Amino acid sequence: MQVRGWQVTGAAVAMLAAGIVLAVTANADDSTRGYEVEAHGSAAAGPSSQPARPFASAGPSSQPAPPSASAGPSSQPAPPSASARPLAKTSGPLAKTSGFFVDPNSEPAKWARANKNDPRAARISAEIATRPIAKWFGEWFTDIGASVDKYVDAATAAGKLPVLVAYTLPGRDACSGFSGGGQKTPAEYKRWFSAFAGAIGDRPAVVIVEPDALGDAECMSAEQIAVRNELLNFATRELRAKAPQAWAYLDAGNVGWGEPAEMAARLHDAGVRNVRGFALNVSNFYPTAKTVEHAEKINAQLKSKGHHTAGFVIDTSRNGNGHAGSWCNPPKRKLGSAPQPGTTGEDYRLWVKTPGISDGPCGTAPGVPSGTYSPELAVKLIDGS
């Protein structure tokens, strides 16, 4: 859920998003992607080099045994090669809308409305609440199908593209512990995810699949990893079958969390071939340029395993101002580039993490629990202080 403090096949699209116009044109020389992006007035994210967030065990005390039959990638036919796919200009989800959806009920927006007399409200409203921010879905929604349908309906009615995060794996956040939780059993997870994907239906969307899931492997047993891979394969197949207009991205950690070869192997085992690609830097601070380099290395490793070139997205919500050697509410971080189509190889730059949501009771917010919205943290990100 959006309580984490750290923590997608084709290409960029022609759109007007967050005041940035990008033109997408075919590139006959690019056989792996088949597109070229030209930016007009876009701004790159500022420099950063935030280290990876460490993870500490927080899974259930009784982990279910792995299933008897694997649902690994070999059980699912591979999608067509990237070079054979339609261009994002004509088929990408953003191209089918008029821009990313701005949720009027995001945490920053709700806080600003409820605190109009607070001198911070106007700044938070202008700098954060008016930006497209992903909405996180997990076990805290009592009716996941109805909740997702309502959110996607609102975006569709506005002609906008919703960005959703699925975050409810059993034993979630197995390394850090601040965001532990998730569904209690694999069966519950499958029911939940089937409803989640079905509620998106045949509507354009972007979906980030399970932040932490693959990075957590270093803190899990072989049995736990087998269960997780079976569930991620299920989730990616459900999205492919029930949400065909959505571009989905498996979370793949960040520059400092998961070497390219190892992360490519984990993506392979988790079913990345069923979806658009992978997501990087979710709730972290690494600069966009360095993250693109990391993504290219992962793709090179995926290619060696017989995969297509995967698309990828980058969370730029907090990567605008370098790093301070900490993942948990570190000082002097800053908002990154606004959500927009990518200009350097990535499909999109997104705000996956909500700026102002605490990473946990640590850093510059020692008294703010994970997942709690803090206007003080939000203003610090605006100012870079």
284 appears as a binding residue in the annotation: yes
Q: Which of 212, 251, 269, 347 is catalytic?
A: 212
- Residues with Cβ < 8 Å from 118, sequence gap 6 or more? 375
pLDDT in tens, 344-381: 999 999 999 999 999 989 999 999 998 999 999 999 99
pLDDT in tens, 248-300: 999 999 999 999 999 999 999 999 999 999 999 999 999 999 999 999 999 99
329 appears as a binding residue in the annotation: no
One-character DSSP codes across 66-135: PPSS---GGGSPPPPPGGGSPPHHHHSTGGGSSSB---TTSHHHHHHHHTTTSTTHHHHIIIIITS---E
* CA 104 and chain centroid, separation: 20
pLDDT reading at 238 higher than 60: yes
- The stretch 163-178 carries a mean pLDDT of 89
pLDDT in tens, 115-160: 999 999 999 999 999 999 999 999 999 999 999 999 999 999 999 9
Q: Which range (116-130, 172-186, 297-311) has the least confidence?
A: 172-186
351 appears as a binding residue in the annotation: no
303 appears as a binding residue in the annotation: no
111 appears as a binding residue in the annotation: no
Q: Which of 216, 269, 315, 359 is catalytic?
A: 359
Overall size of the chain counted in residues: 385
> What are the structural domain ranges in the chain?
15-43+55-60+77-383
Which comes out higher in pLDDT, residue 226 or 69?
Answer: 226
pLDDT band, residue 326 (cuts 50/70/90):
confident
CA distance 20 to 241: 32
pLDDT, residue 38, reads 28
CA distance 84 to 199: 29
- Choices 2.30.30.40, 3.40.190.10, 3.20.20.40, 3.60.15.10: CATH for 15-43+55-60+77-383: 3.20.20.40
Tokens of 145: 């199908």
3-state secondary structure of 65: coil
Among this protein's residues, is 212 annotated catalytic?
Answer: yes
CA distance 351 to 88: 20
CA distance 298 to 342: 18
